[in-house]
Structure 1
Amino acid sequence: MSNTLANGSLAQTFIAREWANKTAGFLVMAVLGSLLLTIASKIQVPFFPVPMTLQTLAVFAIGAAYGRNLAVATVLLYLAQGFAGLPVFAGAAAGPAYFIGGTGGYLAGFVVAAFIIGTAADKGWSKSAIKMGGVILAADVVIFMLGFAWLSTLIGAEKAFTFGVVPFVLGDLVKIAIAALAVSAVWKVWKRA
C-alpha cells in the first residue's frame, strides 16, 4: 500500500486501486467533480463583507484531490456545461455571453488554478496541509489576477479591485485552509485503510 500512496493524487490512487477500466474511472470522477462545482456554486454562505459561494473551495479541493489532468478536465467540463447553457454557475445565467461578463476572468482562472494545484497534488504535496495551502494560495492569487484583469476592462481598475477582489479575500483564505486541511486529512485516513 505504501508504494501506491508514494506519488500521485487521491483520485489517481483511488482509480488505480478501485477501477478496472481507468478511463471509465476518469470520466466518472470528472462528471462527479463538475456536479460538485455546480452544487458549490449554488450554495451561498453568509460571510463578511459579502456572502460567498463555495465555488472556489470546490476548485481548490478538486485540484488537490484529482491531480492536474483530471482537475483541468473537470473544470473544463464544468465550463463547457455552462457555455452550453446549463445552469451550473452561481446565478441563473449561462451560455456563451456569460463568459464575456464580469466573471469571465475568474472562470479562466479556475482552469489555471486547477492546473497549478493539480500539478502539486501529482507530486504528493496534497499530503501536507502546509504545502498544499501555499500552493492553493498561489493559485488563488492567479484567479484574482485574471478576474481583476478582465473585470478592469469592463469597469475600470479601481472598481474592479474594490468590488471584484477586496470583498472576497477573507472568504478565500478560509476556503484555502479548509481545502488544504481536508485533502491532507483524507490522505491520512486513506493510509490507515
Structure 2
Amino acid sequence: MWPQRAGGISGVLRSVILVALGTALLTMSAKVNLPLPYVPMTLQTLVVLVIGAAYGWRLGSVTVMAYLAEGALGLPVFAGPAGGLAPLLGPAGYLFGFVAAAFATGWLSERGWDRSVAWLFLAMGLGHVLILAAGFTWLAFGMKLGVEKAWLVGIAPFLAASLIKNALGAALVPSIRRVLDRRG
C-alpha cells in the first residue's frame, strides 16, 4: 500500500496528511447530498471505500474514525448542518458502518483485491453491504422503524447508487495509485 512506504517521522507526517485529506474529502462528500426522508444519499460511501482501498485497513479505518470524532466534537462534517452527538444518535448506523467498510475494503485490498477492477468492485460491494446492514439495523431496531420500513427507506433507495459508486471507485483507485506512486 502506498501510504506505508515511508518510515519514521516522514511516515508519520505522511499518515497525518493522508488522514487530514481523507477527513476533508469525507466532509465534502457529505455535503453533496440528495435529501431523503430518513437518510440523505451522499457521496460518502464512495469516499469511504476509496479511502479503505487506497490507504489499507489500518490508515483507512483510522481516517474514518477521525472523521467521526471530528463530527462528535461539533465540527459540521456530516450531511446535515450540525455536528456534535445528535447526528451520531440519529440514523448513525451508516456512519459506524463506514469504519467496518473501510476496514474490510482495505483488508481485501492489501490481499491483492485492488489489482483487478472486478475484484476491487467486489471488495467495495462488501463494503457497501456492511454500511447498508449497519444502517438498516439501526433504522429497524435502534429507531424502531421495523424491518419493512427500514428496507424501504434505508436500503432500497441506495442499491442502484451503490453499484454505480462501486464501479466508479474500482475504476478510480488504480488511477489514484498511479498518480501518487509517480510523485511518491
**TM-score for both structures, normalised by structure 2:** 0.88
After superposition, give the CA deviation of every residue in 1:104-151 in whole Å (9 maximum; x if it has no partner).
Answer: 111110000010011112223222111111111011111111110110
**Partner in structure 1 of residue 126 of structure 2:** 138
Contact 1:127-1:187 within 8 A present in 2 as well: no
Contact 1:66-1:121 within 8 A present in 2 as well: no
**Partner in structure 1 of residue 101 of structure 2:** 113
CA–CA separation in structure 1 for the residues paired with 2:139 and 2:42? 19
**Partner in structure 2 of residue 4 of structure 1:** none
- Identity among equivalent pairs (%): 42
Q: How many residues align?
A: 178
- Residues 147-158 of structure 1 aligned to structure 2 (within 5 Å): 147-153=135-141, 154=143, 155-158=145-148
Q: Does 1:89 align with 2:78?
A: yes
**Partner in structure 1 of residue 3 of structure 2:** 11
CA–CA separation in structure 2 for the residues paired with 1:192 and 1:118? 21
Q: CA deviation at 1:95?
A: 1.1
Q: Does 1:181 align with 2:171?
A: yes
Q: Does 1:170 align with 2:165?
A: no
Unaligned runs of 5+ in 2: none
Contact 1:137-1:176 within 8 A present in 2 as well: yes
Contact 1:57-1:175 within 8 A present in 2 as well: yes
Deviates more, 1:110-119 or 1:20-29: 20-29
Deviates more, 1:151-160 or 1:108-117: 151-160
After superposition, give the CA deviation of every residue in 1:48-94 in whole Å (9 maximum; x if it has no partner).
Answer: xx983211110011011100110001000000000111100011122
CA–CA separation in structure 1 for the residues paired with 2:70 and 2:181? 35
Q: CA deviation at 1:100?
A: 1.5
- Residues 33-52 of structure 1 aligned to structure 2 (within 5 Å): 33-44=22-33, 52=41
**TM-score for both structures, normalised by structure 1:** 0.84
CA–CA separation in structure 1 for the residues paired with 2:146 and 2:71? 26
Contact 2:2-2:181 within 8 A present in 1 as well: no
**Partner in structure 1 of residue 59 of structure 2:** 70
Q: CA deviation at 1:44?
A: 2.9
Q: Does 1:122 align with 2:99?
A: no
